[in-house]
Amino acid sequence: MGERPVVTPSAGITPVQQMLASGTGALLTSVFALAADSASWSGVIRPSKWKCFLYCNGLMDHIYVCQYGASCTSWYKTPTHFSGTLDAFVKITRNEGVRSLWSGLPPTLVMAVPATVIYFTCYDQLRDLLRYGMGFQGNYIPLVAGGLARLGAVSVISPLELVRTKMQSRKLTYSELRVCIRSSVAQDGWLSLWRGWGSTVLRDVPFSALYWFNYELVKAQLCDQYNVSQATFSISFTAGAISGAVAAIVTLPFDVVKTRRQIQLGEMETLGVPVKNHTSTWHIMRGIWAESGYRGLFAGFLPRVIKVAPACAVMISTYEFGKIFFQKMNLDREQQAC
């Protein structure tokens, strides 16, 4: 049975417009995710000195660092009892103000926006190159394009992870941050800027490959079901949520390893302890297996799915909407020029 041809919104728009659409999506997803995460975290997390905690929704990481128990966000320090996420949302807003829900947004955007812009734009460009430029056909194209796009984005953005961690753990000014990074490079070499790259790749590349593979399939099926040639906002939203949930489940063990590593890095930076050479990802996985079995590798299964699915849905639907907007704008310009 042949696959129903679905018009891709990337046709007729420029890479710059793709970047604008993905950047807007990243900004909206960051704002949405941080507000929701502040409420969901506070319902289950209790303050602990010199500790940090991490959240990943499949598109971007959010890390919170508590330095000597003093520089935490207000809702993190407040010993308020919450009965659930909704109760936490209401109490945080009432007691600390609406702005407290977006604590840590600037450092998050340092990585989230450029990483997402590179990732989504490269995916569309690679997919179209493989399909139309090189003549390849088949459902594997989104899988290959998604994996390669995420690999490139991770490699380019990885040094910013060190910048983001230092910004949040030591509260450095930009001039102090520059000196600190130079010192780190002088001591450990340029490769120190890509510390943790391997575990990030093992988590994000399979996630992205599975995500785009499933997204394109689900989107095509929904378009066929509703007899439309171009995905609507609701179709993109639904396909993004389903695809994000599936990818989150399959890649959860790698997320557990990456989370453990990033938290350790944040705590070392907070305490001013020199960062030691990391053990391999497989060594960490074996340790988790020996300590907790398969349950340890799939810890946080439900919370991860609950966080990843809506974040992916918001991001992809916003991105697709932005591309359709630019496509129509370009078409109108062409018609006016004729």
How many angstroms separate the CA atoms of 293 and 290, rounded? 6
In eight-state DSSP terms, residue 102 is G
Number of alpha carbons in the 13 Å side-chain half-sphere of residue 132? 9
- From 3.30.70.20, 1.50.40.10, 3.40.50.1580, 1.10.530.10, which CATH number describes the 15-337 domain? 1.50.40.10
The C-alpha angle with vertex 169 and arms to 286 and 291, in degrees rounded to 5, equals 15
User: What's the pLDDT at 258?
Assistant: 73
**Model pLDDT for residues 228-242, shown as the tens digit of each residue:** 988 999 999 999 999
Q: Which residues of the chain have pLDDT under 50?
A: 1-5, 38-50, 52-53, 55, 67-71, 73-76, 79, 82, 84-85, 101-102
**Model pLDDT for residues 269-290, shown as the tens digit of each residue:** 555 555 555 566 677 777 777 7
Q: What is the dihedral of CA 76, 78, 81, 83, to 10 degrees?
A: -40
User: What's the pLDDT at 285?
Assistant: 72
